[in-house]
């Protein structure tokens, strides 16, 4: 048996801070409040619903994950957020239109009491939004300091023992990393002279890490993956992970592609298109912001299929991803995939997937799991990139930048569960034994 990690207990309150109080954040908060007050089942959450097998099969040990590892309880969570538009969580939930009034009514008082703090926001990174509740300061370093002061105030006003931050704000424009992102020193110098290549999400990530608050990045932004931020998270011993919640069409891709590869079926092309009409869709209607999403979505197939190892099957794949903003659809996205595959003697076949999903319904449980698992990681003494949480991301960060991250959902799930087993002093389950 491996030595169990020494993990501090999950006593006291855990504050979950979300930059962004839009569809995902408000749906997440509402679901936790409903689970707490009305016993709603937290469907889609691994930490709340999944079991984990321990030892050999005949031992019959299969506890719930939440009974196996010391996670914060839903009753101990408190919520805070920053947003340049939404005033509070009720306002955000009503604007998003994800949840029905009958689900919001019993928790409306609690939701209304979750007020958004003024955001670090810059329209040059999200051109489609007009922010009104926005911080101002002479430099980006001072904006970061204002966020750190918010974090400290939130913790003391709410009696929090620990905090985590999960980015649930808009997707920023795609910009290359520059010299300013190379080292901690160059980044801090860039903050002081307000370098234009430092995005708002990087200012939040910096503030979180410097406050000792674990950070998860739910958008495709380049917030915690630049070298300077990884180095900072390692130096400060703060867990970070990103990026871009794995929901909807990409979730389907990472379920289907490993299956095709497992059976050595060839792929000639994968055409994905979506319509969605929420604020996220509006932001992504700008080509610069869509570019961030496109980059995060396109890596998936190639990494799973390994064309360099299987050139006959996967070296010639046309992979196209489109997102179209279509207001009548709201948060209820519709995605179509046309997948051109080929089999024995090269004969072609097609698979069509038509997924009528609800984006925020799929994303909300991921916010909960990431918050609880990053808090666990911090209590287990982890710092830096948490690759074992790849399961939750479209473009997971590898532990070592020279390595390729794993995209296969099922390998990611094994990695996650084996990490928990290892930390608790249990043998990994390889499925090769009893
Ligand atoms: N829902 C999903 O399935 C899913 C999957 C993957 C990624 N995401 C990402 O999650 C994020 C949230 O999605 P959503 O549907 O809730 O979008 P949304 O537009 O409803 O909410 C985003 C909120 O962020 C706010 N915001 C923008 N810039 C900000 C800043 N600098 N600081 C603080 N707040 C800021 C906006 O005012 C808005 O209220 C988006 O980036 C989206 O791409 C969502």
Distance, CA 110 to ligand 1 centroid (Å)? Answer: 21
Q: Which of 174, 180, 209 minimizes the C-alpha distance to 196?
A: 180
Cα dist from 189 to 137, 182, 201, whole Å: 16, 11, 17
Stated pTM of the model = 0.96
Tell me whether residue 6 is in a domain: no
pLDDT in tens, 199-250: 999 999 999 999 999 999 999 999 999 999 999 999 999 999 999 999 988 8
Nearest residue (by CA) to ligand 1, atom 5, is 245
Q: What's the pLDDT at 2?
A: 82
More confident residue, 248 or 111: 111
Could you identify the atom of ligand 1 that is nearest to the CA of residue 19? 33
Q: Rounded mean pLDDT of the chain?
A: 94
Q: What's the pLDDT at 57?
A: 87
Question: Positive or negative, the Cα torsion across 384, 366, 53, 6?
Answer: positive
| Same structural domain, 50 and 159 | yes
CA 77 to chain centroid, in Å, comes to: 18
| pLDDT grade for 87, boundaries at 50, 70 and 90 | very high
User: Stretch 70-75: mean pLDDT, rounded?
Assistant: 98
The owner of tokens 């506890």 is 63
pLDDT in tens, 180-205: 999 999 999 999 999 999 999 999 99
Q: Which of 53, 55, 173 minimizes the C-alpha distance to 124?
A: 173
How far is 194 from 191, CA to CA, in rounded Å? 5
Lining ligand 1 with CB less than 6 A are 19-24, 82-86, 96, 119-121, 126, 129, 168-171, 200, 218-219, 244-245, 247-248, 278-280, 359-360, 362-363
Whether 432 shows a pLDDT value over 80: the answer reads: no
Residue 156, classified by CB atoms within 10 Å of its CB into exposed (0-12), middle (13-18) or buried (19+), is: exposed
| Same structural domain, 116 and 200 | yes
| Same structural domain, 145 and 70 | yes
Whether 434 shows a pLDDT value over 60: the answer reads: no
List for the chain the helix, strand, coil content (%; round to 5): 45, 20, 35
| pLDDT grade for 433, boundaries at 50, 70 and 90 | low
| Same structural domain, 289 and 371 | no
How far is 262 from 311, CA to CA, in rounded Å? 15
Distance, CA 69 to ligand 1 centroid (Å)? Answer: 30
| Same structural domain, 48 and 179 | yes
Could you identify the atom of ligand 1 that is nearest to the CA of residue 248? 3
Could you identify the atom of ligand 1 that is nearest to the CA of residue 170? 41
| Same structural domain, 190 and 133 | yes
How far is 42 from 364, CA to CA, in rounded Å? 10
Q: Which of 13, 411, 28, 16 minimizes the C-alpha distance to 245?
A: 28
Mutate which of 17, 21, 22 for ligand 1? The one with the most ligand atoms within 8 Å of its CB, which is 22
Mutate which of 19, 21, 24, 321 for ligand 1? The one with the most ligand atoms within 8 Å of its CB, which is 24
Distance, CA 408 to ligand 1 centroid (Å)? Answer: 25
Mutate which of 280, 283, 291, 329 for ligand 1? The one with the most ligand atoms within 8 Å of its CB, which is 280
| Same structural domain, 267 and 293 | yes
| Same structural domain, 270 and 231 | no
Could you identify the atom of ligand 1 that is nearest to the CA of residue 85? 37
Distance, CA 156 to ligand 1 centroid (Å)? Answer: 27
| Same structural domain, 403 and 335 | no
Cα dist from 355 to 37, 294, 335, 336, whole Å: 31, 19, 5, 6
Q: Which of 376, 238, 387 minimizes the C-alpha distance to 229?
A: 238
Nearest residue (by CA) to ligand 1, atom 29, is 169
Cα dist from 69 to 73, 138, 226, 238, 251, whole Å: 11, 45, 31, 20, 26
Domain end, chosen from 337, 356, 375, is at: 356
| Same structural domain, 36 and 64 | yes
Could you identify the atom of ligand 1 that is nearest to the CA of residue 27? 16
| Same structural domain, 257 and 351 | yes
Tell me whether residue 129 is in a domain: yes
How far is 66 from 203, CA to CA, in rounded Å? 33
Nearest residue (by CA) to ligand 1, atom 37, is 85
Q: Which two tokens stand for residue 254?
A: 């990472």
Contact present, 323 and 281 (Cβ < 8 Å): yes
Tell me whether residue 8 is in a domain: no
Tell me whether residue 431 is in a domain: no
Could you identify the atom of ligand 1 that is nearest to the CA of residue 26? 16
Nearest residue (by CA) to ligand 1, atom 40, is 170
CA 23 to chain centroid, in Å, comes to: 14
How far is 67 from 60, CA to CA, in rounded Å? 15
Tell me whether residue 429 is in a domain: no
| pLDDT grade for 402, boundaries at 50, 70 and 90 | confident
| Same structural domain, 132 and 164 | yes
Tell me whether residue 430 is in a domain: no
Could you identify the atom of ligand 1 that is nearest to the CA of residue 171? 41
Three-state secondary-structure class, residue 368 = helix
Domain of residue 271 covers 249-356
DSSP annotation of 91: H
Domain holding 149: CATH number?
Answer: 3.40.50.720
Domain end, chosen from 326, 341, 356, is at: 356
Number of domains in the chain: 2
SS3 readout for 260-281: HHHCCCEEEEEEEEEEECCHHH
Distance, CA 3 to ligand 1 centroid (Å)? Answer: 40
Distance, CA 19 to ligand 1 centroid (Å)? Answer: 9
How many degrees, rounded to 5, is the angle at CA 163 between CA 82 and CA 371? 85
Domain holding 320: CATH number?
Answer: 3.30.360.10
Whether 430 shows a pLDDT value over 90: the answer reads: no
How many degrees, rounded to 5, is the angle at CA 298 between CA 292 and CA 301? 155
pLDDT in tens, 262-275: 999 999 999 999 89
Contact present, 170 and 126 (Cβ < 8 Å): yes
Could you identify the atom of ligand 1 that is nearest to the CA of residue 121? 31
User: Stretch 25-33: mean pLDDT, rounded?
Assistant: 98
Helix (H) or strand (E) holding 167: strand 160-167
Tell me whether residue 389 is in a domain: yes
Asked if the bond preceding 264 is cis, omega within 30° of 0, the reply is no
Could you identify the atom of ligand 1 that is nearest to the CA of residue 95? 20
Q: Which two tokens stand for residue 5?
A: 């990690």
Distance, CA 278 to ligand 1 centroid (Å)? Answer: 10
Domain end, chosen from 340, 356, 372, is at: 356
Question: Positive or negative, the Cα torsion across 357, 297, 232, 378?
Answer: positive
Tell me whether residue 351 is in a domain: yes
């Amino acid at each position: 048996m491996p030595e169990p990690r020494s993990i501090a207990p999950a006593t006291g309150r855990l504050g979950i801070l979300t930059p962004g109080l839009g569809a995902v954040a408000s749906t997440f908060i509402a679901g936790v409040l409903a689970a707490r007050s009305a016993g709603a089942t937290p469907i889609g959450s691994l930490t709340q619903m999944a079991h984990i097998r321990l030892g050999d099969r005949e031992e019959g040990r299969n506890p719930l994950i939440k009974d196996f590892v010391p996670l914060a309880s839903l009753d101990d969570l408190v919520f805070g957020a920053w947003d340049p538009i939404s005033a509070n969580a009720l306002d955000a939930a009503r604007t998003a239109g994800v949840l029905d009034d009958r689900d919001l009514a019993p928790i409306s008082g609690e939701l209304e009491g979750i007020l958004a703090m003024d955001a670090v926001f810059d329209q040059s990174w999200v051109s489609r939004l007009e922010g009104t509740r926005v911080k101002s300061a002479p430099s980006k370093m001072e904006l970061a300091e204002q966020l750190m002061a918010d974090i400290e105030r939130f913790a003391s006003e709410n009696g929090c023992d620990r905090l985590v931050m999960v980015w649930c704000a808009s997707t920023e424009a795609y910009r290359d990393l520059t010299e300013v992102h190379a080292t901690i020193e160059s980044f801090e110098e860039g903050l002081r002279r307000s370098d234009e290549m430092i995005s708002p999400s990087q200012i939040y990530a910096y503030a979180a890490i410097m406050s000792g608050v674990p950070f998860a990045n739910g958008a495709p932004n380049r917030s915690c993956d630049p070298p300077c931020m990884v180095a900072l998270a390692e130096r400060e011993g703060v867990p970070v992970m990103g990026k871009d919640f794995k929901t909807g069409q990409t979730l389907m891709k990472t379920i289907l592609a490993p299956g095709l590869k497992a059976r050595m079926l060839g792929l000639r092309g994968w055409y994905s298109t979506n319509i969605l009409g929420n604020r996220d869709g509006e932001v992504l209607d700008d080509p610069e912001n869509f570019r961030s999403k496109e980059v995060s979505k396109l890596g998936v197939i190639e990494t799973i299929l390994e064309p360099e190892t299987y050139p006959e099957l996967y070296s010639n794949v046309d992979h196209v991803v489109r997102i179209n903003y279509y207001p009548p659809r709201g948060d209820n996205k519709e995605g179509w995939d046309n997948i051109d595959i080929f089999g024995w003697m090269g004969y072609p076949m097609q698979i069509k997937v038509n997924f009528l999903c609800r984006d925020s319904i799929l994303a909300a449980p991921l916010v909960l799991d990431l918050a609880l698992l990053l808090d666990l990681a911090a209590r287990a003494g982890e710092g830096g990139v948490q690759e074992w949480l790849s399961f939750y991301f479209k473009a997971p960060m590898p532990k070592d930048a020279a390595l390729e991250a794993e995209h296969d959902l099922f390998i990611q799930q094994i990695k996650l569960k084996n990490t928990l087993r290892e930390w608790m002093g249990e043998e990994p389950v390889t499925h090769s034994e009893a």
